[in-house]
Amino acid sequence: MAGDASGIERVRIQGPRLVLRPIGADEIEAEWQEMVNAEPMARGGPVAEADFKARLARSGQMHDGWLDLSIALDGTPIGRIQTFVPPERKTPPGVFTVGIGLRQAQRGRGHGREAMTLFTNWLFSDAAASVVQAPTDPENIAMRTVFERIGWRHTETYEEFGRTWVNYSITRPQWEELRSQG
């Protein structure tokens, strides 16, 4: 955590190459444009612009299960990672649902894997997670490969928003076992 001018403690997670940190007020519009221009496979359900921007204004603070962070490389935002609460799939405390999106030019360089590892570790070590999970499109091989490389497991396939989704997750005991293996 790190304080800022507002005095509010905001989440900041430092990795070997990446930093997951709050989204600046001057970065919100660019994040909205990335969201609306995302390819259908990378999108979640429908999101209203005002809700999205209000959410990002609270970036860096966990708020009712929602936390948005910028993925930054050498000080430049290259994507966004978040926990969110799926509208149709309310989750109990300690169960976090994660989403991630990298700018097109930054994909396939290991950043997704690093960001997901950092965020998963932080959710278990600092946010009392019992389960960390994420849905993706069955055809999203990049995302599915990241999940498999970092020790998440495919748990469920389901229909929502008129599409098929695959759910991946990792539980606290599974995460602890991975950590104990180094």
Ligand X SMILES: CC(C)(COP(=O)(O)OP(=O)(O)OC[C@H]1O[C@@H](n2cnc3c(N)ncnc32)[C@H](O)[C@@H]1OP(=O)(O)O)[C@@H](O)C(=O)NCCC(=O)NCCS
Chain residues in the site for ligand X (CB under 6 A) = 42, 79, 99-102, 107-113, 136, 140-143, 145-146, 149
Please list, in sequence order, all residues whose beta carbon lies within 8 angstroms of the beta carbon of residue 18, skipping any fewer than 6 positions away: 71, 72, 73, 78, 111, 114, 115, 118
- Is 56 or 115 the residue whose CB approaches ligand X more closely? 115
- Is 59 or 136 the residue whose CB approaches ligand X more closely? 136
- Nearest distance from residue 20's CB to ligand X, in Å? 13
- Nearest distance from residue 111's CB to ligand X, in Å? 4
**How many angstroms separate the CA atoms of 163 and 182, rounded?**
37
- Nearest distance from residue 51's CB to ligand X, in Å? 19
Query: Under DSSP, is residue 177 helix (H, G, I), strand (E, B) or coil?
Result: helix
| Number of residues in the chain | 182
Please list, in sequence order, all residues whose beta carbon lies within 8 angstroms of the beta carbon of residue 57, skipping any fewer than 6 positions away: 25, 28
- Nearest distance from residue 56's CB to ligand X, in Å? 17
- Is 4 or 145 the residue whose CB approaches ligand X more closely? 145
